[in-house]
């Protein structure tokens, strides 16, 4: 066996563990259970996982639980903190509160209700958090000051809710149901925002795998990018994304190519035409301006980008930003 095969096989096994943890955050996990998912001996699994991810399995598990909790606290302002803690797999409220404070520097309840005066008081040790929160507020404020507005209507052809907007990058907004999708993916961990070369590299690598298998010839095939972490919470070097291609359910994968399902559900879908530097502005507008006025709130599940057509050189990129939603 050559070195590339072995490296890809190890990465595929670790990816299975990452996916498994993310799907079972509210459950207890033993080292033996996680090692079995990876098909590694428990005596070697811990060292392999740490070497390939930079974290121990339980550091990763705790971080993902905390980051999900940080999002839930904001998305669901009336959900009791104890419910958030248990939904994210913490055995007690006291353990959750103590761990949350150690990582984010403030109590969960204060994270939820933090105002500018509190954020300015956050100590130097939490300067990255403070900066993130202030930048988020500023992005939302700038979006509203720009005169963006929305109006809702029902499309007579599709019978779905749609919105007219004045946001310069947005071409349409609608809420509709999407079917379950099976995707093959190649994963990246680390910074990615504005890195056009990275996205091109991942796409090319995925297509080199899919092309000889006839998976690109399906007229329903779509390229997606799934974002597993909130860039306003997760440190840049730990951000995860999956470059995906929709495939038949029975597709076999190998090496660094993994397979997962994106659940059927109701999604807010915003079509945008953007440059590689404008993706962040589109996401911020959807979350900071459109969502608060829509009557919807984010639901559990990954957000993703879907590309309706191949980007053309020198032209802006057409992208559908898809966010799972439910009524407020």
Q: What is the rounded CA–CA span in Å between residue 251 and residue 52?
A: 26
In Å, how far are 24, 80, 114, 240 from 85, measured between CA atoms? 14, 9, 19, 23
Structure token pair of residue 82: 């104890």
DSSP-derived secondary structure for 75-107 = H-TTS-HHHHHHHTT-S-HHHHHHHHHHHHSS-
| Burial class for 140, CB neighbours closer than 10 Å (0-12, 13-18, 19+) | middle
Q: What is the pLDDT of residues 37-68, one digit of tens each?
A: 988 877 678 878 887 888 889 999 999 999 99
pLDDT at 144: 42
Structure token pair of residue 80: 């009791």
Structure token pair of residue 269: 């879908």
pTM: 0.68
How big is the chain, counted in residues? 328
What fold is seen in the domain 173-327?
Multidrug-efflux Transporter 1 Regulator Bmrr; Chain A (3.20.80)
Q: What is the rounded CA–CA span in Å between residue 182 and residue 187?
A: 15
Which of the residues in the chain have pLDDT under 70?
1-7, 43, 115-149, 159
pLDDT above 90 as % of the chain: 48
129: β partners: none
Q: What is the pLDDT of residues 69-105, one digit of tens each?
A: 998 998 888 899 999 999 999 999 999 999 999 999 9
Determine whether domain 3-113 maps to CATH 3.40.50.620. Answer: no
């Amino acid at each position: 066996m050559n070195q590339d095969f072995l490296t890809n096989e190890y990465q595929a096994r670790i990816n299975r563990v990452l996916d498994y943890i993310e799907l079972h955050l509210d459950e207890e996990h033993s080292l033996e259970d996680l090692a079995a998912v990876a098909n590694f001996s428990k005596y070697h699994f811990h060292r392999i996982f740490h070497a390939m991810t930079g974290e121990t399995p339980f550091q990763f598990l705790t971080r993902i639980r905390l980051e999900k909790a940080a999002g839930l606290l904001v998305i669901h302002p009336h959900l009791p903190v104890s419910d958030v803690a248990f939904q994210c797999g913490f055995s007690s409220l006291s353990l959750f509160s103590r761990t949350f404070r150690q990582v984010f520097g403030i109590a969960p309840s204060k994270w939820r209700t933090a105002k500018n005066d509190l954020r300015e008081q956050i100590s130097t040790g939490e300067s990255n958090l403070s900066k993130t929160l202030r930048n988020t507020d500023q992005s939302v404020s700038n979006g509203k000051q720009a005169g963006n507005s929305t109006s809702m209507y029902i499309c007579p052809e599709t019978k779905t809710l749609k919105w007219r907007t004045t946001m310069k990058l947005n071409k349409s907004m609608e809420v509709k149901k999407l079917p379950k999708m099976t995707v093959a993916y190649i994963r990246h961990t680390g910074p990615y925002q504005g890195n056009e070369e990275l996205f091109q590299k991942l796409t090319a690598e995925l297509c080199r795998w899919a092309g000889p298998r006839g998976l690109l010839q399906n007229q329903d095939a779509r390229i997606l990018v799934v974002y597993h972490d909130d860039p306003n919470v997760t440190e840049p070097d730990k951000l995860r994304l999956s470059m995906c291609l929709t495939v038949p359910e029975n597709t076999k994968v190998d090496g660094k190519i993994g397979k997962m399902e994106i659940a059927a559900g109701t999604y807010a879908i915003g079509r945008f035409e953007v440059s590689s530097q404008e993706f962040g502005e589109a996401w911020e507008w959807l979350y900071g301006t459109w969502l608060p006025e829509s009557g919807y709130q984010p639901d559990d599940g990954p957000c993703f980008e879907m590309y309706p057509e191949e980007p053309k050189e020198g032209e802006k990129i057409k992208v559908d930003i898809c966010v799972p939603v439910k009524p407020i």
